[in-house]
Amino acid sequence: MRLPYVDASDSNAFTDPEDSAIVARVRARRAPRPLQPLDLTLLHSPAVADGWNSFLGAIRTRTSLSDDVREIAICRVAVLNEAWYEWAHHAPLAKAGGVSEGGLKLLEQRHPKPEKGASDLSEKQWAVVRYADAMTRDVAVKQEVFDALKEHFSQQEIVEVTATSSGIGR
């Protein structure tokens, strides 16, 4: 966004008790880190910041997705939207979640293609890449891309992959 950041340390910035409670919830989710630039922008609308904070908290800590799957979805959207801040934060999390160095190099490409015989990403991981790409590039996901996702994930996990791919890095 191209708005100035809210000075959340200004005691006069949030005089309404509900808004102060929202800032406290955002701080609690970010702890021990400070508020991030996204938080400081969204706080121009505390209700939106609160909803976004709740959504991101659920995506990051309360889904059933494995770490590699969640971070692959986030990293793909970051690359496609050129959200390099997100990439820089989430690529190390993808690696920590089990994505190989070769897999990370593929995720960073605008149009990755699996190499014959290479196993940098599993079929399950490729299904997430293709799905996140289709959601981001085309919005309407082709049936064959969705069917490939259904081969590897439960209905709950599909909802979670969809939410993760739709909200991060946009």
Q: Which residues of 32-70 are buried (b: 16+ CB within 10 A; e: fewer)?
A: eeebeebbbbbbeebeebbebbeebeebeeebebeebbb
- Is 84 buried (19+), middle (13-18) or exposed (0-12) by CB count in 10 A? exposed
The rounded percent of the chain whose pLDDT value lies above 90 is 84
Identify the pLDDT of residue 92: 98
By residue count, the chain amounts to: 170
Amino acid identity, residue 25? R
Domains parsed from the chain with CATH numbers:
17-61 (no CATH), 67-167 (1.20.1290.10)
User: What global pTM score does this model have?
Assistant: 0.89
- Mean pLDDT on 10-19: 92
Q: Please, which pLDDT band fits residue 167 given cuts at 50, 70 and 90?
A: low
